[in-house]
Amino acid sequence: MKIPKDGVEDLLYEIMYFSPVELGDERYTNKLYFQTEIYHRTWPTLMADRMSHQIEKLKHCEMGIVAFDDEFRKTHREAVIGHCKMALAYLDAREARIAMKLCEQCMPATKSSEPRLQTDPNAEFDFLRIIALSVLACAARRVKFFQKAIDALAEAKSLCLAGGDSIQQHPLLIALTLLNLSAVLGDIDHDEHGLRWGLEALAMMYNLFSTLELPEMVQAYYLSLACHNAALLNVKLGRWGDAQELVDEGIEFTKILGENDDNLRSKLITIGAQAKHVPEVFLAEAVNALNGWSEERGVWNLSFWDFSLFEMKEVIRPRSKMSFLMVCSERTLEWLPCIDCFHQKQIHFSTCRVLQSTLTLNKIIIVARSMGFLQ
């Protein structure tokens, strides 16, 4: 997802830069730059040499040859962040192996063997290392080096949660790190463990977004992404009810995103169809009808579906926004308006009588007898 950078502070911008949310044009510009003839599918020798030189300067600081002052801290931070952005540009250009090597090269620049330097709060070594490890994990996951990705994210998680109650890292960075760890654990079928960290990330986002000023679309994107991850893991564990709740919650957030949802809505519908035991196309039609997203707004043609119990529940379940009910008879299809009924009372599955047609295609007749809206 891409949005303008306006009004986002520098630290948040750096954290979000290494997430699926693109602020401004910098990430896209970097991707194009490293796809030019000089760098395309080629090891960036000059850039790598600059990082090696920066690592040597850090060693000189550890030995007391070079002063570890504010100017060096600023220069060092910019060098490491810039190197990680370059690695991410290669990853965006589908050069995951080069991206991995670049991240591994800069690891010595994110940690100091001198305790005086390592514990300096202004040096931000832990922050830089978490960023480098996160990009490394994404690149490793891209080429299915799952164990390498888990090792990197496990170390990043330990750095994020170091300090107990006095955590030093930004909550958004922690939440995104836990979410990435949860996704990779799901890749290797450690679903229970992955769900634990996925729900932790989702809870942190809810708490964070109640106080943090971020664009509404960014909040909705992160929350829908976390709901998608947790719902998928619940489906793999056979926890259908929890998965359904997370899918419904995620779809609500995608309403804010509109067409800029990176196909998250369709992915949530796919997971929801498994959780609800209905065909994916059927659930997509249900979601579209409920929210008025279909081509014929307010119309849902059920005449092509042979209903199972789960499909009937999906059609009949009470929704205040549903302004119609389809009755499929042997000869005609009728739309019965029931706005007042749905707004004032609930229709329960037990109040509906289901008859099976004896005519063609075994169509199912749904007859709603309650509340007097069917004459």
Is residue 17 scored above 70 in pLDDT? yes
Per-residue confidence at 333, pLDDT binned at 50, 70, 90? very low
- What range does the domain containing 311 cover? 295-375
Query: DSSP assignment, residue 123?
Result: T
Q: Express as a percent the part of the chain with pLDDT over 70.
A: 77
pLDDT at 356: 34
Residue with the two structure tokens 């994110």: 110
Is residue 346 scored above 90 in pLDDT? no
The dihedral of CA 227, 229, 230, 231: what is its sign?
positive
Is residue 323 scored above 60 in pLDDT? no
Coil vs helix vs strand at 227: helix
Alpha-helical segments (H) within 107-239: 115-118, 125-142, 146-161, 171-187, 191-209, 216-236
Residue with the two structure tokens 């958004």: 172
pLDDT at 312: 62
From 93-97, 171-175, 218-222, 261-265, the region with the lowest mean pLDDT: 261-265
The rounded distance, in Å, linking the Cα atoms of 171 and 176 is: 9
The rounded distance, in Å, linking the Cα atoms of 181 and 226 is: 12
Classify residue 81: in a domain, yes or no.
yes
Arithmetic mean of pLDDT over the chain: 81
Classify residue 53: in a domain, yes or no.
yes
Looking at the structure of the chain, the number of domains it has is 2
pLDDT at 162: 84
pLDDT at 9: 86
Classify residue 231: in a domain, yes or no.
no
Backbone angles phi, psi at 134, to 5 degrees: -65, -45
Structure tokens at 270: 């796919």
CB 182 within 8 A of CB 195: yes
Classify residue 236: in a domain, yes or no.
no
CA 121 to chain centre: 31
Residue with the two structure tokens 């205040």: 320
pLDDT at 165: 65
Per-residue confidence at 242, pLDDT binned at 50, 70, 90? very high
Query: DSSP assignment, residue 371?
Result: G
Per-residue confidence at 296, pLDDT binned at 50, 70, 90? low
Classify residue 176: in a domain, yes or no.
no
CA 161 to chain centre: 21
Q: Which CATH number does the domain housing residue 119 bear?
A: 1.25.40
The rounded distance, in Å, linking the Cα atoms of 339 and 360 is: 31
Classify residue 210: in a domain, yes or no.
no
Is residue 105 scored above 80 in pLDDT? yes
Q: What is the C-alpha R_g of the chain?
A: 26
Per-residue confidence at 316, pLDDT binned at 50, 70, 90? low
Most confident of 35-44, 156-165, 348-357: 35-44
Between 295 and 338, the higher pLDDT residue: 295
Classify residue 341: in a domain, yes or no.
yes
Structure tokens at 273: 């169809």
Classify residue 225: in a domain, yes or no.
no
From 100-109, 199-208, 217-226, 336-345, the region with the lowest mean pLDDT: 336-345
* Domain end (from 109, 139, 161): 161
* Domain end (from 119, 135, 161): 161
* Domain end (from 161, 193, 208): 161
Per-residue confidence at 46, pLDDT binned at 50, 70, 90? very high
- Exposure pattern of 87-96 as b/e (b: 16+ CB <10 Å)? bbbbbbbebb
Enumerate residues 6+ apart whose C-beta is below 8 A from 375.
Answer: none
pLDDT in tens, 159-214: 999 876 667 889 999 999 999 999 999 999 999 999 999 999 999 999 999 888 88
- Residue by residue, DSSP assigns 44-62 as -HHHHHHHHHHHHHHHHHH
The rounded distance, in Å, linking the Cα atoms of 179 and 206 is: 13
Coil vs helix vs strand at 251: helix
From 240-244, 263-267, 324-328, the region with the lowest mean pLDDT: 324-328
What is the average per-residue pLDDT within 98-119? 94
